Amino acid sequence: MTAASAPRHAAARLLVVDGDGGIVHRGARDLPALVRHGDVVVANDAATLPASLTGEHERTAAAIEVRLAGRRSLAWRRVRRFVAVVFGAGDHRTPTEQRPLPPPLRPGDRLRLGPLHAVVERVLGHPRLIELAFEGSLEHIWSGIARHGRPIQYAHVPQPLALWSTWTRLASVPVAFEPPSAGFVLDWTTVARLRDRGATLVTLTHAAGISSTGDPALDARLPLDEPYRIPAATAARIDAAGIAGGRVIAIGTTVVRALEHAALGHGRVRAGDGLATGRIGPETRLRVVDAIVSGTHEPGTSHYELLRAFQGDDALAAVARELDAQEYQTHEFGDFVWLARAEPRYAVVRRA
């Protein structure tokens, strides 16, 4: 697969994998044709923060880039503390795997990030990964992030991104560090057609974390713990669908992570705030979600591991071959995959 180098949602494609592992190629705008009356479609309405902050490590005067990557809560008053990934000098035009390390970081180090100042509170077992705390009032912190920050982006997108290019149509509360990019499959026409089909669209808010650091040891720790909020109306709709025989269709891996974490222990989605921990993978027994619409992901990534909870390795290998053969595009502005939850058998390719 090649990486999509710019937003291209209207032209995006959708590879559909049914419950038996059969594959059909469709357009992303065909999504409503896959839902049934009584289904509940759940999307992440998190807006993306300008979470890349450039500046200086005060003790050494070395240039750094800080990418905010995690928080423990969605509560606004806890915005002072973040988990962050720190790079040395450079910018997004250099692939992350080639970015230099920052100067050695230690607790108490001060970081000057444009108008903001932050203090390293902990180094989290890797020279790039820290917990930091911003100084100043909440108004000063948010104003500084808004004015100085840029969207996190990668070398496959050469032109600097405007913040609104990283927002889905449903974007509301700015808590995501990178876009919940599966949500790009939804535009207002698609939303209307989902409702015409008798499906219900609901939302939750999940602070989507970063997708890659370029460091294999650090990427192996992804995803980080991520807070979420599930409205009571969303939980009620999911309950009602289960009673009526409708399916729960997650738009993106963050939605799966939030719903499945909220259902741990008793199988029903609890409304309210939570912190999604751990990984979803091939050994996970899904309690809530019946199908996922996801971006295309490469084996070995945490997103791909989550897809293994829906389909087995033989089916996913067939999907990977089709994605390559049909030149699907990957990363946040790329194409999409629909995966039904099933015990997979042998994948059979059909042309739409």
pLDDT digits (tens, 9 = 90+) for 179-203: 999 999 999 999 999 999 999 999 9
Structure-token pair, residue 191: 């939303």
The reply to whether 156 falls in a domain is no
Task: Answer yes or no: is pLDDT of 286 > 80.
Answer: yes
Same domain for 229 and 105?
no
* Rounded distance between C-alpha atoms, residue 129 and residue 87, angstroms: 10
Q: Which domain holds residue 114?
A: 51-148
Structure-token pair, residue 344: 């997979």
Provide the pLDDT for residue 215: 93
Same domain for 137 and 167?
no
Provide the pLDDT for residue 62: 98
Same domain for 56 and 167?
no
CB atoms within 10 A of CB 243: 8
Provide the pLDDT for residue 300: 83
Give every CB contact of residue 2 below 8 A, 6+ residues apart in sequence. 327, 329, 330
* Rounded distance between C-alpha atoms, residue 200 and residue 84, angstroms: 36
The reply to whether 154 falls in a domain is no
Same domain for 199 and 127?
no
The reply to whether 232 falls in a domain is yes
Task: Answer yes or no: is pLDDT of 284 > 80.
Answer: yes
How far is Cα of residue 298 from the mean position of the Cα atoms in its chain?
Answer: 14
Same domain for 171 and 191?
yes
Q: Rounded to two decimals, what is the model's pTM?
A: 0.94
Same domain for 39 and 72?
no
Same domain for 281 and 175?
yes
Specify the number of domains making up the chain: 2
DSSP state of 216: H
Same domain for 102 and 33?
no
Closest CA to 267 of 236, 228, 239: 239
Domain final position from 120, 148, 176: 148
CATH number of residue 110's parent domain: 2.40.10
Same domain for 197 and 143?
no
Provide the pLDDT for residue 332: 82
Q: What Cα–Cα distance (Å) separates residue 305 from each residue in 24, 246, 277?
A: 22, 26, 15
